[in-house]
């Protein structure tokens, strides 16, 4: 009977852990430890409203076994319980925070090299949202290395300095920093463009639209970049619009853990332009590409041409019949020299020229 009970208990535990579903924390940042000889481990630290100083099973934290014998590579976090005594070790360390969050958190690293003679610590922190210092735990001055953006520090004597602490300062940390969101009429469609400065656990964006006579509806889902410190650009073209109608657009940004937030609402009026116009390119100066927009009040035979400062034709961006509307074209100047360029719009007797600067 005892044997059967043990079997059922073991089966239950196996089923529990085999089918457990972990939740992605709001902030999850990578930290890679290697010994310079091929052995490495990427661990994760971060923040969440459900984080604690102990083992958070919901985020995949678990108390790892004791260190292997000397000569075998290992790296882990020591969790804060019992003043970082090492009684709890994990490859993931998620702490408690309420967002937006500004404050400091301390994380402890423990490691030993394998065949290598050094330990390399590599980090990738979101620009302007997290920075800190990497210090020894003896005095905090023998090793005292600033941490910002992407970087690496090499511990040349890991047998002496086999423990380090990271003091990480989080600054108004939020899942995603949306830096721009705009809409333009292109022919009979609306093009949405948005950029992010940084992304933390960004699953993606729902593009939503409404009119004065209808409620919000989701048009599509655009996959996000996860976690990155590099600016990201996104776009979507809405082809199901009607003329002489005002539309409202917004983005619903979704985290991997189900949390979400909305962007500001932008509106655009789908109406036929009354005049020909050629707008100033954007950005300007630019490198290597820029957007050129113009409006047509009626169907026209259009030429959009780029010239260099000598008046020589560089390229013809458009040479075709276009319907009335607002148009945006992107010109990529890869292969062209820095300097002043001119772009000219000709459309059924209308002619206008503007200047732009390529700065490499």
At 185 the pLDDT is: 81
Give 303's contacts (C-beta < 8 A, 6+ positions apart).
316, 318, 319, 344, 345, 346, 347
Residue 129 has phi, psi (to 5 degrees) of: -120, -15
Cβ-contact 293, 207 below 8 angstroms: no
H or E segment to which residue 172 belongs: strand 163-173
At 138 the pLDDT is: 95
Please state, for a pLDDT cut of 70, what percent of the chain lies above it.
93
At 265 the pLDDT is: 82
At 1 the pLDDT is: 39
Average confidence (pLDDT) over 239-251? 89
Across the chain, what does the average pLDDT equal? 87
At 10 the pLDDT is: 35
Which band of pLDDT confidence, cut at 50, 70 and 90, is reported for residue 291?
A: confident
Q: Which of 127, 143, 137, 129 shows the shortest CA–CA distance to 106?
A: 137
Residue 173 has phi, psi (to 5 degrees) of: -75, 130
At 216 the pLDDT is: 95
Please state, for a pLDDT cut of 90, what percent of the chain lies above it.
58
H or E segment to which residue 17 belongs: helix 2-18
pLDDT of 121 strictly over 50:
yes
Cβ-contact 213, 244 below 8 angstroms: no
At 174 the pLDDT is: 67
pLDDT of 351 strictly over 80:
yes
Which of 85-89, 97-101, 291-295 has the highest average model confidence (pLDDT)? 85-89
Assess whether the previous peptide bond of 60 is cis (omega < 30° from 0).
Answer: no
SS3 330: strand
Which band of pLDDT confidence, cut at 50, 70 and 90, is reported for residue 126?
A: confident
Longest Cα separation, the chain: 97
Pick the range with the lowest mean pLDDT from 16-25, 150-159, 216-225. 16-25
- Residue 127 sits at the vertex; the CA angle it makes with 126 and 132, to the nearest 5 degrees, is 75
At 90 the pLDDT is: 97
Q: Which residues pair with 266 in a beta bridge?
A: 249
* pLDDT tens profile 258-273: 778 888 788 887 877 8
Average confidence (pLDDT) over 160-164? 96
Q: Which of 66, 57, 72 shows the shortest CA–CA distance to 87?
A: 66
Q: Which of 87, 85, 73 shows the shortest CA–CA distance to 120?
A: 73
The sign one gets for the Cα dihedral 6, 12, 15, 18 is negative
d(CA 177, CA 263): 10
d(CA 186, CA 134): 51
* pLDDT tens profile 174-205: 667 777 777 778 767 898 988 887 787 789 99
At 222 the pLDDT is: 96
pLDDT of 16 strictly over 70:
no
Which domains are delineated in the chain? Answer: 20-173 (no CATH), 176-270 (2.60.40.10), 277-358 (2.60.40.1930)
* pLDDT tens profile 307-346: 999 999 999 999 999 888 777 777 888 789 999 999 999 9
At 8 the pLDDT is: 33
**Residue 83 Rama label (left phi>0; alpha psi -120 to 50; beta):** left
SS3 157: coil
SS3 158: coil
- 113 vs 184: which has the higher pLDDT: 113
Place of tokens 């380090």: 164
H or E segment to which residue 197 belongs: strand 189-211
At 6 the pLDDT is: 34
**pTM of full prediction above 0.85:** no
d(CA 278, CA 326): 10
* pLDDT tens profile 128-154: 789 999 999 999 999 999 999 999 999
- Residue 160 sits at the vertex; the CA angle it makes with 158 and 162, to the nearest 5 degrees, is 55
d(CA 159, CA 358): 54
SS3 115: coil
């Amino acid at each position: 009977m005892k044997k059967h009970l043990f079997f059922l208990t073991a089966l239950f535990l196996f089923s529990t852990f085999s089918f457990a579903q972990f939740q992605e924390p709001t902030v999850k940042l990578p930290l890679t430890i290697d010994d310079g000889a091929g052995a490495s481990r990427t661990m994760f630290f971060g923040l969440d409203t459900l984080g604690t100083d102990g083992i958070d099973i919901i985020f995949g934290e678990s108390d790892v076994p004791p260190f292997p014998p000397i000569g075998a590579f290992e790296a882990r976090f020591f969790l804060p319980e019992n003043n970082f005594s090492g009684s709890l070790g994990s490859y993931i360390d998620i702490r408690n925070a309420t967002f937006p969050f500004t404050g400091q958190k301390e994380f402890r690293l423990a490691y030993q090299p394998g065949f290598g003679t050094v330990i390399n610590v590599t980090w990738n922190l979101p620009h302007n949202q997290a920075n800190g210092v990497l210090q020894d735990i003896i005095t905090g001055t023998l090793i005292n290395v600033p941490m910002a953006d992407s970087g690496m520090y090499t511990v040349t004597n890991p047998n002496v300095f086999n423990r380090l602490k990271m003091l990480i300062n989080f600054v108004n940390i939020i899942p995603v920093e949306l830096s721009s969101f705009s809409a333009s009429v292109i022919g009979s469609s609306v093009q949405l463009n948005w950029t992010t400065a940084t992304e933390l656990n960004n699953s993606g964006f729902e593009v939503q639209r409404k009119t004065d006579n209808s409620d919000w509806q989701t048009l599509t889902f655009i996959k996000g970049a996860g976690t990155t410190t590099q600016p990201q650009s996104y776009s979507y073209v809405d082809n199901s619009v009607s003329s002489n109608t005002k539309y409202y657009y917004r983005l619903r940004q979704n985290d991997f853990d189900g949390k979400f937030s909305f962007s500001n609402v932008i509106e655009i009026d789908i109406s036929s332009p009354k005049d020909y116009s050629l707008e100033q390119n954007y950005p300007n100066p630019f490198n290597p590409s820029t957007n050129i927009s113009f409006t047509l009040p009626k169907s026209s035979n259009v030429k959009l041409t780029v010239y260099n400062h000598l008046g020589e034709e560089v390229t013809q961006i458009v040479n075709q019949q276009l319907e009335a509307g607002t148009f945006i074209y992107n010109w990529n100047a890869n292969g062209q020299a820095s300097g002043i360029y001119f772009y000219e719009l000709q459309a059924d007797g209308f002619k206008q020229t503007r200047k732009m600067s390529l700065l490499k």
